[in-house]
Amino acid sequence: MIDKSVKEACEMIKKSNNTLVLTGAGISTESGIPDFRSPNTGLWEKIDPMEALSTSILLNRPEKFYKKGFKMLLSMSDAKPNKAHIALANMEEMGIIKAVITQNIDNLHQKAGSKYVLEVHGNTRTGSCMMCGKKVDLKILEQKNQNGEIPPKCNSCNGILRPDVVMFGDQLPEDFNTAWNIVNKCELLIVVGSSLTIAPVSYLPQMAPRVIIINLGETSFDRYADVVIKGKAGKVLTKILDELRKEV
Ligand code: NAD
């Protein structure tokens, strides 16, 4: 027996020839990475991410950035994908979804096997020089930080190295423009684990003709969505995948 809303979502997915997924921090809480806004567990309750992860702190108070914000970024590196990431990777392989657009920087979609992933808030694999643009492994920044080189400097031009993560005050990377263009042409967008509060990503659902939301808490788009499923991403996406597999 499956829930009515899961059934409705499956019907919508079956009818669509161009389905995309937009994910947020909530999809990774079951992998042990706290999101921003969940009551009691969200990072917002412990630190102010707007301060810990801001370009102004990175440039003006690098010691503070490397003590708090950078540690938070590194803490994601050992996490493993959960059932939700794996279900989405399977759905891509089966041709059910075309791409995952993620606000996350934890690399878990790629670890689960998703091939087409747009990282609209950057990633925690690399850093780059703010002067010459040279890319380096984020581990280089970690090593330099451990050796007391704060801020870490580029070996080629001595410019400041920074993580390739979008921080408060930064522009979004090219992946966001690509996401904007593909959402414009999609038939269905499935939003998973995002409160949809951070602009401009929060505008993407407005451009999709049909929207399914899978989220534990409320989102800013619930009242406009076609189907809203309140539940844990791992459980709901596994149910949806099981249902869709019956049809194949
Ligand atoms: P958010 O914290 O604003 O919202 C997360 C939402 O997910 C909440 O509404 C919550 O109810 C829901 N949720 C929590 N656990 C869930 C689960 N198991 N199943 C389904 N829903 C669940 O996150 P956001 O909208 O992504 O915005 C926060 C910003 O911070 C984004 O840029 C995000 O990428 C970044 N961030 C990323 C990570 C990460 O990479 N894992 C972690 C924290 C924050």
Q: What is the Cα–Cα distance from 81 to 226, expressed in whole angstroms? A: 28
CATH number of 39-75+126-165: 3.30.1600.10
pLDDT at 48: 77
Q: Which residues line ligand 1 (CB under 6 A)?
A: 24-26, 28-30, 33, 35-38, 42-43, 76, 103-106, 121, 193-195, 197-198, 215-217, 232-233
- For residue 201, report the distance from its CA to the centre of ligand 1, in Å: 13
Active-site entry in 98, 109, 121, 144:
121
pLDDT surpasses 70 at 44: no
- Which of 4-8, 70-74, 131-135 has the weakest average pLDDT? 70-74
Top mutation candidate among 5, 33, 36 for ligand 1, by most atoms within 8 Å of CB = 36
Q: Can 1-33+81-121+172-248 and 39-75+126-165 be said to share one CATH topology?
A: no
Concatenating the DSSP letter of every residue in 56-120 gives: HHHHH-HHHHHHTHHHHHHTTTT----HHHHHHHHHHHTTS--EEEE---S-HHHHHT-SSEEET
Give the confidence band of 52 by pLDDT, cuts at 50, 70, 90.
confident
Closest by Cα among 198, 233, 175 to 49 = 198
Per residue in 110-128, pLDDT (tens digit) is: 999 999 999 999 999 999 9
Strands 227-229 and 211-214: parallel
> What rounded mean pLDDT belongs to the chain?
94
What angle do helix axes 83-93 and 233-247 make, rounded to 10 degrees?
30
Residue 180, classed as helix, strand or coil, is: helix
20 phi/psi in degrees, rounded to 5:
-120, 160
Per residue in 204-236, pLDDT (tens digit) is: 999 999 999 999 999 999 999 999 999 999 999
Is 109 an annotated catalytic residue? no
Extents of the domains making up the chain: 1-33+81-121+172-248, 39-75+126-165
- For residue 72, report the distance from its CA to the centre of ligand 1, in Å: 15
- Which atom number of ligand 1 is nearest to the Cα of residue 28? 41
pLDDT surpasses 70 at 45: no
pLDDT surpasses 80 at 2: no
Give the confidence band of 89 by pLDDT, cuts at 50, 70, 90.
very high
Q: Which CATH superfamily is domain 1-33+81-121+172-248 in?
A: TPP-binding domain (3.40.50.1220)
Q: How many Cα atoms within 13 Å fall on the side-chain side of residue 137?
A: 5
221 phi/psi in degrees, rounded to 5:
-110, 0
- Which atom number of ligand 1 is nearest to the Cα of residue 102? 34
Whether the Cβ atoms of residue 224 and residue 204 lie closer than 8 Å to each other: no
Sequence-separated (6 or more) residues with CB below 8 Å from residue 64 = 57
